[in-house]
C-alpha cells in the first residue's frame, strides 16, 4: 500500500507493507500529472515501513526510470535497508536525478527545499 501527497516542493510517497505493481501504477499517475503541469519533479520516497516488493513492480520501476531519466531533479529516499541503498545506487545509473539516501525525514525535507528556503546555495 502507498500514500501519496503533493507537497509544495515535492511529491511525498510512503510505502506501507508490500510495494506492488498496482501501487507503482498509482505512483506513476501522480508523477505524470506533476510532470505535465509543473515540469520536473522532486520526490520524497519513505520506504521505512516497506516490508517487501513484487518482482513486477521492480521491473516497472526500472522501465519508468529509464523512460523518465531527465524528468526528476532530486529524489530523497528514506530507509535503513541496505537493499534499498543498493537500489538507489542502481537508479542513479538510470536517471539524471540527484538521488540521496536519508535516515531522517527532516534531513530529506531540508535537502529537497529550494535554496531560497534554506538560505543555502544549491546542492
Q: Which tens digit of pLDDT belongs to each residue from 29-46?
A: 999 998 998 888 999 999
pLDDT single digits (tens) 61-79: 889 988 998 999 999 999 9
Average the pLDDT over 2-9 and give the result. Answer: 93
Tell the residue number behind the cell numbers 531560497, with chain if given: 116
Q: Which residues share a beta bridge with 68?
A: none
Alpha-carbon distances, residue 88 vs 23, 25, 54, 92, 120 (angstroms): 18, 19, 17, 6, 25
pLDDT above 90: residue 109: yes
The pLDDT value recorded for residue 91 is 65
Domains identified in the chain and CATH numbers: 2-118 (3.30.750.24)
Tell the residue number behind the cell numbers 506492488, with chain if given: 20
Amino acid at each position: 500500500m502507498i500514500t501519496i501527497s503533493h507537497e509544495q516542493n515535492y511529491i511525498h510517497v510512503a510505502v506501507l507493507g508490500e510495494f506492488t505493481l498496482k501501487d507503482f501504477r498509482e505512483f506513476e499517475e501522480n508523477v505524470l500529472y506533476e510532470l505535465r503541469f509543473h515540469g520536473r519533479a522532486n520526490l520524497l520516497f519513505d520506504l521505512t515501513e516497506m516490508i517487501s516488493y513484487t518482482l513486477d513492480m521492480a521491473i516497472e520501476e526500472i522501465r519508468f526510470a529509464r523512460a523518465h531519466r531527465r524528468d526528476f531533479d532530486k529524489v530523497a529516499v528514506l530507509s535503513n535497508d541496505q537493499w534499498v541503498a543498493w537500489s538507489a545506487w542502481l537508479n542513479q545509473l538510470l536517471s539524471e536525478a540527484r538521488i540521496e539516501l536519508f535516515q531522517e525525514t527532516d534531513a530529506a525535507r531540508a535537502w529537497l527545499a529550494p535554496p531560497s528556503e534554506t538560505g543555502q546555495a544549491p546542492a
